[in-house]
Amino acid sequence: MARPDRETTVRALLDEEGRTYAEQAGIHLKDTPQPLYQLLVLAHLLSARIRADTAVAAARALFGAGMRDAKHMRDATWQQRVDALGEGGYRRYDERTATQLGKAAELVLDAYGGDLRRLRDKAGGDVERLRSLLQEVPGIGPAGADIFLREAQGVWPEVAPYLDGKTLAGAKRLGLPADPEALAGLAGKEELPALAAALVRAALDKHVVDEVREIVHG
């Protein structure tokens, strides 16, 4: 059987799984303070050893309870944060995460006035510096920083292409090049966040790989 071209595989992947985690969480991502903060919260939740759907549901519950920006997150009680996380099914880590979310909101407010664009500006265009600054936020480690930047590259184009080790693992499973520049060339620049999310799903779930292969091979 002939090997499908890479563009066909990428298009099938995007058709099936090309939805960012921000979109899934109801975040209308723009280069403005509130959605950027919401993305940070989502990245925090997704970085735990927990199902992505649970993390997304917990983010929706926090935002639905009014904790949509750093000020409201900080001003919420610890119990309100715990309750919202529990409503989203995020129970295994709810107490520790509630504490971290409060501390993270304080840092974002104190250091950046609630506006993560100031964190970006502080990095001065250096992506590794940006990644390091994100990890100063309580609850954001290397995985959380990667999640944030994979999604933020859609509104912070200077970060693109941000295709980290997790996305490259998904690419390898699909027979795609495990190289950020080569991968980025297979999709439009505006599609990079969706491509990154889809590749992560391929890395995490063999069924995604099987579905794409079935579509490609007919």
pTM: 0.95
Tokens of 7: 């563009």
Question: pLDDT 10s per residue in the chain (218 long)?
Answer: 334 589 999 999 999 999 999 999 999 999 999 999 999 999 999 999 899 999 999 999 999 999 999 999 999 999 999 999 999 999 888 899 999 999 999 999 999 999 999 999 999 999 999 999 999 999 999 999 999 999 999 999 999 999 999 999 999 999 999 999 999 999 999 999 999 999 999 999 999 999 999 999 87
